[in-house]
A = this chain, B = another copy of it.
Amino acid sequence: MADNSKIAVLDTSLVDRLPASSKTLFDAKAAKSLSFESIASELGRSEVAVAALFYGQAQASPEDVKKLSTILGVPESKLAEQLLGFPDRGRAGPMPPVEPLIYRLYEIVQNYGYAYKAVLNEKFGDGIMSAISFSTKVEKETDEQGNNWAVITLRGKWLPFTRF
């Protein structure tokens, strides 16, 4: 299983861009060699949401804090204090992204942005797909030739522009 057995850790040069909780959470995750999949299943949340929480991009409920304290072996009070506030989102990495994996997601928006808009407008009218009333997940598929495929699903509430 070689490479795949690795777990994601926090790049040290990212630490200054992220809230203090990110270092705490990632350090504990590394120390216990936990994958996001296992944390997510214990927490009852999606893997992407958990990873987002680790990067300071999603909020932890008091319940999450309690469970994370157990899962990660970090004192609840420390977690509670560092996760006390409201997430200050959007500063994890530079935009346009320089990381190749993230850049390709950006490129999809760059290349297909207007196509999505045209299709969504025709299907729903004038409005947007919310990125707040929103959930997302990542799945792995393997085709018959043994190739792996990543499938990312974005699901957002449709918000029509208010007429005023």
Chain A residues engaging chain B, CB cutoff 8 angstroms: 2-4, 6-14, 16-20, 30, 35-37, 45-49, 51-52, 54-59, 61-62, 81, 84-138, 140-141, 147-164
Contact A128 B132, beta carbon cutoff 8 Å: yes
Q: Helix, strand, loop or mixed for chain A's interface?
A: mixed
Partner of A164, one of B46, B91, B162, B164: B46
Number of copies of this chain that the complex holds: 10
Of A9, A45, A111, the most chain B CB neighbours within 10 A belong to A111
Closest 3 CB pairs of A and B: A90-B98, A135-B164, A51-B115
Q: Is the CB of B13 within 8 A of A17?
A: yes
A160 contacts which of B123, B132, B151 (Cβ < 8 Å)?
Answer: B132
